[in-house]
Structure 1
Amino acid sequence: MSLLVVGLSHRSAPVALLERVTVSGDALEKLLHDVRQSDHVSEALVVSTCNRVEIFADVDRFHAGVTAMSDLLSAHSGIPQDELGRHLYVHYEDRAVQHLFNVTCGLDSMVVGEGQILGQVRSALRLAQNQGTAGTSLNELFQHALRVGKRAHADTDIDRAGASLVGVGLTLAEQVIGPVAGKRALVVGAGSMSALSAATLSRAGAGEIVIANRTHARAVRLAETVGGRAVELADLPAELAKADLVISCVGAGTRVITAETVADAMRDREDGGLFLLDLALPHDVDPAVRVIPKVTLVDLESMQQAGLGAGAGDGGHAEAIGAVKAIVAEEVTAYLESERAAKVTPTVIALRSKAAGVVEAEIGRLMSRLPGLDTRMRDEVTQTVRRVVDKLLHEPTVRVKQLAAAPGGDHYAEALRELFDLDPKAPAAVSGVDVTAAEGTQDEGTEDTEAGR
């Protein structure tokens, strides 16, 4: 099986198209299961954020996998394949691993270096685990990717290379309404992006932070973390009339804030204007609000058009970005070497198992011919024969693992299988065998034998 990625992001598609493709909730779960149930797919995971929709799958056929995943994205979004296909990208095997590591480190984000993607990738993995679509391969890959992302943020200054989308949005807001400190802020939604928004507003010194959400209890919990106030979503019109800054992060597929509601809120206002930051996909705010006097709307699409796409936040931080790229290159090499070495393990176990079988058969035959041997002599003969076989197999099995870690190293495992007539897929060859014993143990006069991965 091999790793395949098919998807689209802010780098390959306009936000308007991403808005139509993005999936969440029940639709995301259905897409996950549809991919998993496709022919030639053994595992599936979907990363769906405001910046990207990507399907990761373990497949046994490249072209069939690409076709199936592209067709499913088209079917779920309702976008014809000839339109959607122009914006899709495909990564396979080594490049797929590198792409994932770039994503988790924030190198592929709309704002380079933002850390929120780590939580989004973790959520995608958790969903695939809960839905039973991620098996050993994707679990291990994504756990490794999350470690790489954490290392990048811990060991470099990539966090300074670009603020989160919230931070960038607030910078744009201050250009219109002045410093956030002391301003009245309204956050619509209570999910992870809303929590990040509320925390960012609190650090910026917002005078009042109001949380509006369909589930009032969640709004209350979030408001308590920032010393804010929670309201029902039905109270949104009244709160809009009092707010200076609104950040909306619901993404429910319907317009949470309509042009009519904003127009009514602005009708009786005598103070300054209203800045709306829409960080949701699909959009929460009706774009028609832009024609309302004293109202400014910034959404993901306008951020992209303003140059906050690929490479945004790079200026002055080339050193940090270069350091993260070096980490990614190192971790990709380590992961691929580990995977290649792991693939030879069943062959090594099969060889050790076959050798153990030969030893036991020959010891049994010898003992039947020498029935007079006492227990001590039997044990000594048995240990001597096993030690000889271990020493003979030690060097080739350790060496084949080292060679297998290099590109094309699977040929060495194939050679072992041919030379010794091994079948590592046979249950008798790989199950019921103590792996440590099968891979060799340190014995008197032998070197430490390399264990599995």
Structure 2
Amino acid sequence: MSVLVVGLSHRTAPVALLERVSVTGDALVKLLHDVQRDPAVAEAMVVSTCNRVEVYAVVDRFHTAVNGLSELLGVHSGVPLDQLSAHLYVHYEDRAVEHLFSVAAGLDSMVLGEGQILGQVRSALRLAQEEGTLGATLNELVQQALRVGKRSHAETGIDRAGASLVGVGLTLAGRVLGPIGDRTALVVGAGSMSSLSAATLQRAGVTDIVVVNRTHERAVRLAQAVGGRAAEFGELAAELARADLVISCTGATDLVITADMVPAREMFLLDLALPRDVDPAVRDLPGVTLVDLESMQDGTADADTDDGGRAEAIVAVREIVAEEVAAYLSAERASRVTPTVVALRSKAADVVEAELGRLVSRLPELDGRARDEVTQTIRRVVDKLLHEPTVRVKQLAQSPAGDHYAEALRELFNLDPKVPAAVRCAEVEKEVGR
């Protein structure tokens, strides 16, 4: 079984395509279960954000799994596979581990080092756990990726090298509007990204913050948290009429802000939704500036957030990722040989017990003390004979060709292949049950 990643991101696909492929809510759950039902897949997790849709799976057949997962992404998005495949990337085994660690560390984000991705990966992990599509392999891999992400932010300047999407957007807003502290800000939506937006506005000194959301209670809670006020969703047009700065990030599948709702005056709109919330036609309105994910992607909204330490931060994080990938793969390879070592020791123990039973039947006159001494002696001899090769094979197993040593043990000692598999299954059940 090996880890496979099939997906697309802002690096390989235009925003318009990402909009079509992006899945949330029930659609995300359905995709997750459809992936896990693929005959070549044993475990599954889906990361779906405004910048990427990636399927992580533990598979036993590479080509079959790649074809199956690609087709599922096409079916769920409604994009023909011949159009989608040109934008898909595939990472397998070592490269899959490196990719996930890089994503968690912020190296693959649209805005370098943004911390939002950590929460998104954590949410994907939690959903897979809740839906029962996760096993020991993916669980441990993703948990380690989250640790790598935290370490990268704690030990390097990656946070300073690149701000969040919201931070970049506010930098651009300041260029258009001047100091934003005295401006009226409108936040449309009340999810995680909207909450981050509202909090960032508050930290930037904005005191007049209005929150609009379809579920008014959630708008009220977010508004109270940042010292703002909430408005009913039906009042959106009226609030747009008085707002200077608008940040929209809802989960809607249709446009939330249309051109006829936006006044033709100096105004800055930041659309962080996927699919988009704001009609691109508002760009044609006099005085109105619209920045969305597409303009951030193509570089037309470059906020020049580099503080001079960007290159050093990237190098430092890449070193951390390389170190963590090597450590993970080494430990993972070593763990693969453990079931074979357990099977070998189990077989040796069975041989010892059988020979001891035969000895007792041939020498019934042995007293209990003598019998115990013989038993202990034979067991010590077997343990000493097995100690060196089992320790050595665990060390050798950490090399890239480590699996061959486990295979050699199974061949040399004629081990039943079902026994290591049974040991591995028991380990998986124990891990998942924690």
Q: Would the aligned equivalents of 2:160 and 2:307 in 1 still touch at CA under 8 Å? A: no
Normalising by structure 2, report the TM-score: 0.94
| Residue of structure 2 equivalent to 1:73 | 73
CA distance in 2 between partners of 1:432 and 1:185 (Å):
55
Aligned-pair CA distance for 1:277:
0.3
Contact 1:47/1:54 (CA < 8 Å) preserved in 2? yes
Structure 1 position 131, deviation (Å):
1.1
Q: In the alignment, residue 166 of structure 2 is paired with which amino acid?
A: V
Q: Is the 8 A contact 2:340 2:409 kept in 1?
A: yes
Please give the alpha-carbon distance, in whole angstroms, between the structure 1 residues aligned to 2:110 and 2:300. 9
Residue number in structure 1 paired with 2:34: 34
1:285-316 deviations in whole A, cap 9, x for unaligned? 1111112222111100011122579x985964
Q: How far has the Cα of 1:424 moved from its partner? A: 4.2
Gaps of 5+ in 2: 428-434
**Per-residue Cα deviation, 1:305-345 (whole angstroms, up to 9, x for no partner):** 22579x98596411111010000000000111111111111
Counterpart-to-counterpart distance in 2, 1:223 and 1:399: 61
CA-atom RMSD in angstroms: 2.0
- Cα distance, 1:372 vs. partner? 3.0
Corresponding residue pairs, total? 426
Give the 5 Å matches for 1:5-404. 5-263=5-263, 266=264, 273-306=266-299, 313=306, 316-404=309-397
Identity of aligned residues (%): 73
Contact kept, 8 Å, 1:111 with 1:312, in 2: the verdict is: no
**Equivalent residue number for residue 410 of structure 2:** 417
Question: SS of the counterpart of 1:12?
Answer: coil
Cα deviations by residue, 1:64-103 (Å, 9 ceiling, x for unpaired): 1111111111111111111111111111110111000000
Letter aligned with residue 275 of structure 1: F
CA change 1:93–1:236 in 2 (3 A) is same
Counterpart of 2:6, as a letter, is V
Task: Give the SS at the match of 2:83.
Answer: helix
Distance between the aligned counterparts of 1:379 and 1:422, measured in 2? Answer: 29
Deviation at 1:165, TM superposition (A): 0.3
Equivalent pair of 2:207/2:228 in contact (CA under 8 Å): no
Structure 2 CA distance for partners of 1:327 and 1:356, relative to 1, 3 Å = same
Structure 1 residue 3 corresponds to structure 2 residue 14? no
Tell me the TM-score normalized by structure 1.
0.90
Once the two structures are superposed, what CA deviation does each residue of 1:421-447 show, in whole Å capped at 9, x if it has no partner?
01242389739999xxxxxxxxxxxxx
Provide Cα deviations, 1:93-151, integer angstroms capped at 9, x if missing partner: 10111000000000000011111100000001111111111111111110111111011
- Flag the 1:213–1:420 CA change in 2: closer, same or farther, 3 A: same
The residue identity in structure 1 corresponding to 2:57 is: A
Aligned AA for 1:292? L
CA contact (8 A) 1:112 1:313 kept: no
Distance (whole Å) between structure 2 residues aligned to residue 314 and residue 61 of structure 1: 45
Gaps of 5+ in 1: 267-271, 435-453
Q: Which residue of 1 aligns with 2:432?
A: none
What amino acid does structure 2 have at the position aligned with 1:235? Answer: E
Counterpart Cα distance in 1 of 2:115 and 2:107: 10
Greater shift, 141-150 or 272-281, is seen at 272-281
